[in-house]
Amino acid sequence: MGVATLAGLAGCNATVSKFEAPESFGSVGTYSRLFDATPGQTCEASRRALLSQGYVITTTAPDLVEGKKSFQPEAESHLQMVVRVVCVPEANNGKVSLGFVTALQDTYALRKTNNSASLGVGAIGSVSLPFSASSESLVKVGSETISKEGFYESFFDLVKRYMALGEDAFSN
């Protein structure tokens, strides 16, 4: 075979698919908001907002809060939401902060695995006793960053509500 034929055959098997993330970086703030509060106050209001919606707080710091919540929409599927808020100062005096929020949704499905084995007893003869068992486990089948503006708008509205309680509510 010639070199051209081999190169042609090799090219037939090499199909590469490219995935381009639908990203467009801009100044529109779906995932961030300015608050007239310190980063600590912003994160505390975010923590209270997450707690009020049934999230379990997994990480908390003066500039970070993270919460998880589980859902079971069907008998054999499971969803887990993780909401992470990072709070940073935006002004030199520290009284204005920026809250960055990202929500990640992981999807799990129930997978059943059948296990079987047989036992041969040589002294009796060729008798086989079948043993079978099945096991079930949740397998991660997808992960997605929530990009719906309405989700973030409602979260930021709730954070603002907790901000309206005033600085006395956030004294640590």
Q: Decide: helix, strand or coil at residue 94.
A: coil
For residue 52, tell me if it sits in a domain: yes
Quote the tokens at residue 169. 């509510």
CATH of the domain at 78: 3.30.310
Sign of the C-alpha dihedral, residues 158, 163, 164, 170?
positive
User: Residue 165 and residue 45: Cα distance in Å, rounded?
Assistant: 9
Examine residue 2 and state whether it is found in any structural domain, yes or no.
no
In a domain, 13, yes or no: no
24 found inside a domain: no
Distance CA 48, CA 33 (A): 17
pTM: 0.71
Q: Is residue 22 part of a domain?
A: no
pLDDT digits 0-9 by tens, 73-119: 888 889 999 999 999 999 888 889 999 999 999 999 988 877 655 55
Range 58-82 average pLDDT: 93
For residue 125, being part of any structural domain is answered with no
The pLDDT confidence band at residue 48, using thresholds 50, 70 and 90, is very high
Q: What percent of the chain has pLDDT over 90?
A: 51
Total domains, the chain? 1
- Residue 153 forms part of a structural domain: yes
Domain that holds residue 97: 29-120+130-170
Say if 19 falls within a structural domain.
no
Find where tokens 């054999």 sit: 76
